[in-house]
Structure 1
Amino acid sequence: MTQPPNDEPTAASPEELREQVEQTRHALGETVEELAAKTDVKARAQEKATAVKEQAGAKAAELTGQVKVKATEAAHLVQEKLPDPVKDKAAVAAQQVRAKAEQAGQVWQDKAPQPVREKAQYGAQAAKDNRTVLLVAGGVAVAAWLLLRRRGGR
């Protein structure tokens, strides 16, 4: 018999030898699986893409929260700086707008066909559900418009 590698003890019986062979096969199988995983470029790229997507989602959520906080702070600052007569006029105007909107809504309910009303309600609900995304997109659009306008005026 030959000397086993790494000074492993030799098997005293055929059962022990079979057990050692099985352990070696198991270890070799795990090593092959690890090597195969390292060479699977597509799977590694998908894992990396998933990780980047999760990081981007977390960063977007963080930035959205920051934008909400800043917008709230700005709104409070503007309200604090407004004179009382302006606030009063704004409240009256807002009430008038609400009344007109209710009237328009009633006309809409009376005159619009049912399928059109259902689609409009679906769209309104989608807009409410994605309000932050719409506000951010609108802000980006305004910023882009201002930048293009500034560049065009030079």
Structure 2
Amino acid sequence: MTQPPHDEPTAQNPEQLRDQVERTRQELGRTVEALAGKTDVRARAQEKAAEVREQAALKSGELKSKAAEAASRVQDKLPDPVKDKTAQAASQARAKAAQAGKLIQDKAPEPVRAQAAQAARVARDNRGLLLAAAGTGVALWLLCRRKG
């Protein structure tokens, strides 16, 4: 075993020796904790997963914002008859979704109902974005149909 370099002066009395031993123990404890942290694959994976989730949430928010802005710009450029048809189509879509929801609620097993309820909550929470996307889709479809 090699001798560590003598950075510290030699202890003159037992009290100084005890202090040096305590400092060495603390340094060794910090070193062991650092090494244990580096070798704890599960904890590092969880930290990385949390980091990735946070980045994904930020990116998702940015994308939703950009999509809503783009949909708003497209809707602003549409002529009034197309806007009216878009609103009418959105209304019909809501009615059909309500009918489908009732049918699912009556016929589906419990796990499917739970998933449908969760999807409905997400749709309600993002209603504006969903309607803007639907309106944009209908408007584009009508414009393409008009040209063709």
**TM tier relative to shorter chain:** 0.5 to 0.7
TM-score by length of 1: 0.56
- How far has the Cα of 1:67 moved from its partner? 0.1
SS of residue matched to 1:6: coil
Aligned equivalent of 1:42: 39
Judged with a 3 Å threshold, the aligned counterparts in structure 2 of structure 1 residues 107 and 47 are, in CA distance, closer, same or farther, namely closer
CA distance in 2, matches of 1:108, 1:36: 57
> Shift in Å at residue 92 of structure 1?
2.2
- Compare CA radii of gyration and give the structure with the larger one: 1
Q: Answer 1 or 2: higher relative contact order, Cα 8 Å, separation at least 6.
A: 2
Out of 89, 93, 117, the position equivalent to 1:93 is 89
In the superposition, the TM-score normalised over structure 2's length comes to 0.58
Matching residue's letter, 1:118: E
Give the count of matched residue pairs: 116
State how far apart, in whole Å, the 2-side matches of 1:83 and 1:74 are: 16
What fraction of aligned residue pairs are identical, expressed as a percent? 33
For 1:53 and 1:34, the matched residues in 2 are separated by 25
Q: Where in structure 2 are the equivalents of 1:34-113 lying within 5 Å?
A: 34-40=30-36, 41-43=38-40, 45-46=41-42, 48-107=44-103, 112=107
Structure 1, gaps ≥5 residues long: 12-16, 133-154
State the one-letter code of the partner of 1:127: A
| Runs of 4+ in structure 1 over 6 Å off | none
CA-based RMSD of the aligned residues comes to 3.2
